[in-house]
A and B are shown apart, each in its own frame.
Chain A
Amino acid sequence: QEKVQQSPESLIVPEGAMVSLNCSFSDSASQSIWWYQQHPGKGPKALISIFSNGNKKEGRLTVYLNRASLHVSLHIKDSQPSDSAVYLCAVSPASSSFSKLVFGQGTSLSVVP
């Protein structure tokens, strides 16, 4: 059973700071890794995904995947108060033939003006 661990549990940063969120997983053959954002009282919403080793940039977001170290990180540049939310890392196991996701416990981010 795939295991996903996120760190830190919570983070408070000033507006404009670079935010770095970490996620470790247990299977180097995992098919895809997703980052979801969840605002209070809302369902999770996909932010960015990565399938291959390396990095991927979309706007203010950059994700780095290193399968050898079983680690993926999400970096948010120039953070805004609207980025305050819970960030969930989700991994699709190697054995799955559909979009099964195993989620980490989340990192709560607060961006203060």
Chain B
Amino acid sequence: EAAVTQSPRNKVTVTGGNVTLSCRQTNSHNYMYWYRQDTGHGLRLIHYSYGAGNLQIGDVPDGYKATRTTQEDFFLLLELASPSQTSLYFCASSEQGAYAEQFFGPGTRLTVL
């Protein structure tokens, strides 16, 4: 079965701190995604990538950077964390194509104090 892992699973930082969230997929998928999930908003797309070195902007990109170093690894960077970025973050991967299923990781809960 498709496998997407995330680390850390929980993270607490302070306002202005630097945070890096990591995601690895072993599905050989081209596409990878970062979402945030907040009560009342569902899942919202932050950034996505269709291969190593590629980065595309999602629907809520402000305050976030991302980098895709290999086909397997996708990172989300918060360089000056703010309390509004307290959320549950999910990574996902999929094959190419508009009808492809997305496979999700277990999530990282981030708290910015």
Contacts and interface: CB of A to CB of B under 8 A. Distances in A.
Nearest to B56: A98
A43 B42 contact: no
Given A41-B106, A45-B104, A98-B100, 14 more contacts: A1-B59, A32-B99, A34-B101, A43-B105, A46-B101, A46-B103, A49-B99, A49-B101, A92-B98, A98-B94, A99-B31, A99-B96, A100-B98, A103-B43
Main secondary structure on A side of the interface with B: loop
A82 interface: no
A51 B43 contact: no
A98 B94 CA distance: 9
Interface residues of A, number: 27
A6 B106 CA distance: 23
A105 B40 contact: yes
A97 interface: yes
B64 interface: no
B42 A31 contact: no
Contacts of B44: 103
